[in-house]
Chain A
Amino acid sequence: MFITDMKRIVRSGYTNFMRSGFTSMSSVLIMTITLFVITSLLFVQAALNGALTDIKEKVDVTVYFTPGVSESSIYTVESALKKLPEVRQVTYTSQDDALALFKDKHANDYLTLQALDELKENPLGASLNIKAKDPSQYESIANYFEGDNAVSKGALTIIDKIDYHQNKMVIDRLTSIISGAQRLGFAVSLVFILISVVITLNTIRLIIFMSREEINVMRLVGAGTRYIRGPFIVSGMLVGIVSAIFAILIYLPISIWLGNQMTDFIGVNLFDYYKQNIFQLFAMMMACGIILGSIASSFAIARYLKK
């Protein structure tokens, strides 16, 4: 009996959805917009996260040694640094490498190169480039050289400068701007999501309001509550499913365009993000659509099912 009922409910919900073409389409349209907005939140978060990791990646501390310092004393510092728990990676650049890099960088700057040649000897010191596991740990790494410990003992004399304090302000500013943008983006999207959810709920309420006579007739022929409510919930779910399909398709050209045009600006290729997460995105939209559609329908119909 239960299975027969379910079968009938699903069939009835499906035919209602297919046959009330215009009304179904209008709820699909509204629901698609809602899902679009919800997904935009994910895209914005992905873009901002991308930008943030991008910047974090650019943050580092470089320790410049005074020219002429022996490689062995640099290795001592390097191996000591590598033992620090905060340090992710240490890259050694020798004096010769530094010179080569400098020349490479100024390949078109004839005057500078000539001046360098005049000097006869290499004015550039060797350096250690340090990347931390987390940007907040740079300060403690930088302080390492100033404190009284194994690395700093005797190291201070061979270190020319540590560029952390110069970068610190810029890094801090960028970090706070991005996390601010992230919070703002989240808040704005939340408001939009709320608005579109309310609109969806109202649209579905209106559609069920139009069916109130029908519901009354169903009650008069003795149909049970579940039997009346069921098909409306099924229709609501179908609205969610169709809208999710539309929404994911709409995002295809948008993410291609964003991927082509905005990758340099935001630091993340959103088309790649779309491709990598397409199943999760689609599942999320489906879930949102189905939950929204069925909940809206069952709430809207409840008032017409009272005795």
Chain B
Amino acid sequence: MIYFNNVTKRYSDTTSLEDITLSIAPGEFVSIVGHSGAGKTTLTKLILAEERPSTGTVFFESTNIHKLSNENLRKFRRKVGVIFQDFRLLPTKTARENIAFAMEATGKSDREIFEDVPHVLELVDLSHRANHFPHQLSGGEKQRLAIARAIITQPDLIIADEPTGNLDPINTNEVVNILRKINDLGTTVILTTHNRSIIDQLKKRVITLEKGRVVRDDKDGKYML
């Protein structure tokens, strides 16, 4: 599904990723681990075409992500759901509207929005918070809302960039469980984290980054740094 071919990313004088070659199959749950600055976030940004590689190519299925026109890039992004450590919800929209926005952006009809949004709110256990604004929600609720927004468009791929970084252990478990459920339903999940307990509990593929290079790629991985 995703292919990195000899990808290097440099920012003026620092090299963030060096000669990365890897592939992720559809339906996989891949954790990317590494210390801060190892290049985890850069890797996800390259997949979202937020950054361009200095050299090398990134393919999604058979298309080079960084050669997409604006219009096609938008269409591609609609196939990817993103979850961030800092949630990045729209502050002037309620929980319901935050989710609806993602659907509106993809051109869904009002009827579809009306039917699907309550459903997904229920899935992340936020039905009772539907009309609250992000600043009225707890950290765990915000992250669950972000997940709801990411999955509402039924993407092929979910990228979760340190989604548990700002959460306590209970909320962390909850978020990981939701991600696991999403993966069980067939969606590919890429999770970056440096939370040992999550990795050990998941028992899925783990790619370890160190100073911008892949130092380990284990099918049934453990957290080893």
Q: Which of A4, A19, A213, A224 is B105 in contact with, Cβ under 8 Å? A: A224
A221 to B148, CA, bound (A): 12
Q: Which of B50, B77, B92, B110 contacts A222 (CB under 8 A)?
A: B77
Cα distance A120–B107 in the bound complex, in angstroms: 101
Q: How distant is the Cα of A231 from the Cα of B70 in the complex, in angstroms?
A: 20
Residues of B near A1 (CB, < 8 A) are: 107
Bound CA–CA A12/B75 (angstroms):
22
Interface residue A219 (Cβ < 8 Å from any Cβ of B): yes
Q: Find residues 8-28 in chain A having any chain B CB closer than 8 Å to their own CB.
A: 8, 12, 15-16, 19-20
Within 8 A of B (CB), among A199-233: 213-214, 216-225, 227
Asked whether, in the complex, the Cβ of B75 is within 8 Å of the Cβ of A222, the reply is yes
Q: Is the CB of B104 within 8 A of A222?
A: no
Q: Are B109 and A4 in contact (CB under 8 A)?
A: yes
Whether A221 and B91, one on each chain, are in contact in the complex, defined by CB atoms closer than 8 angstroms, is: no
Residues of A near B97 (CB, < 8 A) are 15
Chain A's closest residue to B77 (CB) is A222
> Interface residues of A: mostly helix, strand, loop or mixed?
helix
Distance A114 CA – B74 CA, assembled complex (angstroms): 100
Question: Are A225 and B70 in touch, CB under 8 angstroms?
Answer: yes
Whether A217 lies near B105 (C-beta < 8 A) is no
Select A219's contact among B77, B91, B104, B107, beta carbons within 8 Å: B77
Inter-chain contact B92/A224, CB cutoff 8 Å: no
A221 touches B105 (CB 8 A): yes
- B92 near A15: Cβ-Cβ < 8 Å: yes
A303 proximal to B (CB < 8 A): no
Question: Which of B76, B78, B101 is the one whose CB lies under 8 Å from A218?
Answer: B101
How many residues of B are counted as interface, with CB atoms below 8 angstroms from the partner's CB atoms? 28
| The residue from B92, B93, B105 contacting A223, defined by CB atoms under 8 A apart | B105
Supposing A15-B92, A20-B92 touch, asked if A220 and B77 sit within 8 A by C-beta, the answer is yes
Per-residue CB proximity of B100-135 to A under 8 Å, as 1/0? 011011110110000000000000000000000000
B90 A214 Cβ-Cβ under 8 A: yes
Closest to A19 in B: B92
Q: What CA separation (Å) do A225 and B106 show in the bound complex?
A: 12
- Contact yes or no, B92 A220, CB < 8 A: no
CA distance A151 to B9 in the complex (A): 97
Query: A105 near B: Cβ within 8 Å?
Result: no
A83 within 8 A of B: no
Q: Determine if B225 is an interface residue (Cβ-Cβ < 8 Å).
A: no
Residues of A within 8 A of B75 (CB): 222
Contact of A173 with B by CB under 8 A: no
Q: In the complex, A91 Cα to B77 Cα: how many Å?
A: 84
Residue of A nearest to B133 (CB): A19
Assess the A222–B90 pair: CB atoms within 8 A. no
CB distance from A106 to the nearest CB of B (A): 77
The chain A residue with its CB closest to the CB of B52 is: A307
CB distance from B58 to the nearest CB of A (A): 15
Instruction: Report whether B90 and A220 are in contact in the complex, using a CB–CB cutoff of 8 Å.
Output: no
Smallest beta-carbon distance B191→chain A, Å: 17
CB-defined contacts of B82 to chain A, threshold 8 Å? 220-221
* A15-B92, A221-B149 as given contacts; A8 in contact with B77, CB under 8 Å: no
Interface presence of B48 (CB below 8 A): yes
Cβ–Cβ < 8 Å partners of B49 in chain A: 307
How near does chain A come to B2, taking the closest CB pair, in angstroms?
17
Closest 6 CB pairs of A and B: A223-B105, A222-B78, A222-B77, A221-B102, A19-B92, A217-B88
Q: Which residues of B contact A (CB under 8 A)?
A: 48-50, 70, 73-78, 82, 88-93, 97, 101-102, 104-107, 109-110, 149, 153
Instruction: Give A contacts to B, CB under 8 Å.
Output: 1, 4, 8, 12, 15-16, 19-20, 213-214, 216-225, 227, 307
Q: List 8 contacting pairs A-B, 8 Å CB cutoff, sorted by A.
A: A12-B101, A213-B88, A217-B89, A218-B90, A220-B88, A222-B75, A307-B49, A307-B70
